[in-house]
Amino acid sequence: MGKTAAILVARLIFAGIFIMAATFKFAGMDATAGYIASAGFPFPLFLAWIAAFFEVALAAAFLTGAFFSEAALLAAAYVLFLAFAFHGPSHWNSQMEIGAFIDHFTFIAGLLFAAVHGPGERLVLRSSLIRWLNSSETSGSRA
């Protein structure tokens, strides 16, 4: 029971973080685009919208358990990108920026652990490309 509860709480935390991030983007899309532009990326408004919808999709995967491992891996890659793009060494003009950079790696560690161990046994939609690919390889055929 404790393991199940811990996994569900972790899934809620992952989802909550991405829901909050998406909510802030939707509420201030121009500000988000400005922040993206300040980092030197082209098409900042387009990228802001893509990021917001991507975060909604990640939250949905964490809440439902569908494509959970894939979402956790994509989220880890996304958070790594965010760490370097917006808090990396070129931004280290304060201890807060260094702390923000380091915090991304603790989040990545949790996401990687989640990707390996999956969404648990309760409240899960059982959809997974990784599991499908693994089962196709072991059966000798790929549909």
Percent of the chain with pLDDT over 70: 87
Q: What is the pLDDT of residues 111-135, one digit of tens each?
A: 999 999 999 887 787 666 666 566 6
Once rounded to an integer, what is the mean pLDDT over residues 16-28? 98
Pick from 6, 15, 18: nearest CA to 79: 18
Using DSSP, state whether 139 is helix, strand or coil: helix
Of the listed ranges 74-78, 96-100, 106-110, 136-140, the least confidently predicted one is 136-140
How is residue 53 written in tokens? 């919808």
